[in-house]
Structures are given as structure tokens and as C-alpha cells.
Amino acid sequence: MRSAKQRLSLLWSSHPWVVLIVTMACFLVAVTVLGTWSRGDYLRRYPTHDYRLAAFSPPLNNILYYDSEHYYNIATSGYDASTPTSPARARIAFFPFYPMITHGLSVISGIPIDWSLLIIDWMSALTLVVVLYYWAIAELRHARIRDSAAPKFMLMGLVLFPTSFFLATGYTESLFMLLIAGSLLSYRQHRYALAGLLAALATATRVQGICLVIFFFLELISVRRRRIVLRQPIEYRKLIPLIMAPLGMLAFMVFQFITRGDALAFIHAQTIWGKFSSNYISNMFLHSDIRDVWYLAVYSFLCIATYKTLGWRWLLYCLAPFVLTLSAGSMMSINRYILSIFPLFLGLALFRHRISRPLLVGIGASSFLLLVTNIVFFYIGAWVG
């Protein structure tokens, strides 16, 4: 008679994707329950503080916040360019792929837009953990690193990160990370056309997707140099994802040029959100608080771990989204953007043997504490990322 631990171990060895999906489902439910409870308790204490504006149907009016509201409006009525300072015009800063497929799901199935937002978010999160797991295995095989436990530790670090709850809240995190992970996994499997397609969809989902171009370029020149030294033919199929990756963003720019006469409207709209101001220094810290010290310290540590274990190419890729975000002159949402740089967590998983146990426990415990705090704050209407 096998024990529960033995049965779980057997299930993991034979069907790891089942364990991953069930675990992620439990995480999504736990986040939603904790968030809904904290919001209900908050409104009982402060009944006049319910300042939500979105017309979400119950119970989603207790779950969907901030960016979800903009994606809901884009999926419902598209982009509006009525006046230069209107909130509707500012929505051009939000990329179209997430609201597009939300609208598509709603039209095909008859499911309301708000429920479609959450369904796509949750389905993406459930698929994400499986794709990330197999990407990590493929990446370690490519790098000739033997550490079978690293993919599991990577996912554990990702879920414990203080902004991982955004995987459950109608934001682009789940979908964006799934597209990036799928593109990188396809690339390692030499399915370059699929890698390019997923990369193009990623650049149509969020501006940080363009950083994939850096990864594909660095991989190309590295392989080219190695093959020249070994006198092997160069595999030009690797150019496919490099060429295809920017197409999603370019398509969005063409749409902006046709509808507004401004191909860079998504950048210019950032000024409405407090970015690209004339005073970069003061604006950089306008939305910062003491918690950002933790995020910046941990991010720096993760970059070092990634460089030590995965090399300089992955370090440059992990630095690119961070630098791109700071180039707007604002640290707004930087903690959420760090979450989507998931190679950092693989670097940490591989580096875990070189970290003292107290430090590793301290990072994990503080991360979990911030995660719970962020969930509660987010659901009562505070800005946390």
C-alpha cells in the first residue's frame, strides 16, 4: 500500500503537468479567496470607501481592478481618440492582443467580457506553469546543466514572488508570460516559425515583449561565431523568430498611424500616466515606496545569480525589460514587471546551492509576507504594482 507521498511522487514522475496545473489552480483560488475576503472585511469597516468605477458584474466587481478596467473597456468599445487628455485616449498605451482575444472569446461563446478577461487569465496561468517547466528542462539541456530539481524550485520562487498574484487578476501577466515561455521553448525545440509567431503575439501584448529580439539576436551571433570556428554551415532558420518578433508591435503601430496619424501614440500616451515627464529624477521616485528597496535588492541579486549560472546572454535579456521600463522615467509597476522576467527565477534555482540557508529562507519568508500583504492591499483598492 503506497503512502500519499509515494503516490504523489509517482504522479509527478509520470505526469508532472497534472501536479503543476492542480497546484496553480489551488494558488489562483487561494489568491481570489484571500482577496475577496480582505475586500469584504474592508468594506464592512469603511462602507463609504467603495470608489470602484468599473461596471463589472458580481462577484467580479470585487476581483478585477485598475488595468483590468482598461482592458475591459478596450475589449468592449475599442480605442477612443476623442480628446487628447481623456482616459479613453490614454488607453492606447495598453497593447491590443489581450483585449482582442477577450472580445473574440466573448463573441464566440457568449460569455460576458469581464468573465472572458478572467477566463483567459486563468487558462493562461494554468498553461504557463506547464510550459515554463518544460522550457526550464529544455534550457538546462541546452546549457548542459544537470539539475533536475531546478525547474521545480524555479516555479516555487515564481509563485512566492510578491507580485505573482497578478496571474489571477485580469492583467496581462499570465498571457504575456505564456507567450514568452512558449516562444523560448519553441526556439529550443528548433520550431522557429512557431517561436516567431508567439514572439509576435507577445510584442502585441506588452511593450516588454520586444526584448525577445535581444535574446534571438544574441543567440544568433553566438551560434554563428561557434559554427564559423567549427567550420559548420550556419542555420539561417534562426533568423525567422528574430524577423517575426517585432511584427506584433509594428502591426499596432500601423493601426495607430491609420486611426490617429501617430504611429507612436502608445508612447506619447504614457505622459498621461505620469511618464516621460520633464523632470525624470523626481518622477522616477514619485510612485516609489520603501518596498521598492526590497524589489531592487532582490532583482540585483537575481541578476547576479542568473549571470553566474546561465551566462551573460541571459543576463542581458533580464536587464533589458528593466532598463526599458526605467527609460520612461518612472518606477511605476517595476515590481510587477520583474515577475515576467522568469529566467531570473531559473537563475536563482540553479544558484541555490551557493546561497546560505538563512539567506535563502529570509528571501522566501519576506517574499511570502509581501505577497500576502500585496494581495490584501490590492483588493482593498491600494496601488501595489
Q: For residue range 329-365, list pLDDT tens digits in order.
A: 777 788 899 999 999 999 999 999 999 899 999 999 9
Residue 364 lies in a domain: yes
Residue 1 lies in a domain: no
What pLDDT is recorded for position 118? Answer: 92
What pLDDT is recorded for position 215? Answer: 92
Below-70 pLDDT ranges, the chain: 1-8, 10-13, 48-55, 81-89, 223-235, 274, 276-289
What pLDDT is recorded for position 247? Answer: 96
How far is 100 from 204, CA to CA, in rounded Å?
Answer: 10
How far is 245 from 256, CA to CA, in rounded Å?
Answer: 19
The distance from CA 343 to its chain's CA centroid, rounded to whole angstroms, is 12
Say if residues 91 and 73 touch (Cβ distance below 8 Å): yes
Burial category of 58 from C-beta neighbours within 10 Å (exposed 0-12, middle 13-18, buried 19 and up): exposed
What pLDDT is recorded for position 231? Answer: 52
Angle at 249 between CA 177 and CA 306, to 5 degrees: 40
What pLDDT is recorded for position 224? Answer: 58
How far is 372 from 20, CA to CA, in rounded Å?
Answer: 21
What pLDDT is recorded for position 299? Answer: 94
What pLDDT is recorded for position 216? Answer: 93
Residue 322 lies in a domain: yes
The distance from CA 284 to its chain's CA centroid, rounded to whole angstroms, is 22
- Closest by CA position to 166, among listed 318, 347, 27: 27
What pLDDT is recorded for position 229? Answer: 47
Residue 118 lies in a domain: yes
What pLDDT is recorded for position 261? Answer: 86
What pLDDT is recorded for position 326? Answer: 82
Residue 300 lies in a domain: yes
What pLDDT is recorded for position 84? Answer: 47
Residue 9 lies in a domain: no
Q: State whether residue 225 is helix, strand or coil.
A: helix
Residue 207 lies in a domain: yes
What domain range is 276 assigned to?
Answer: 17-46+54-379
Q: Which residue has 483598492 as its cell numbers?
A: 381
Number of domains within the chain: 1
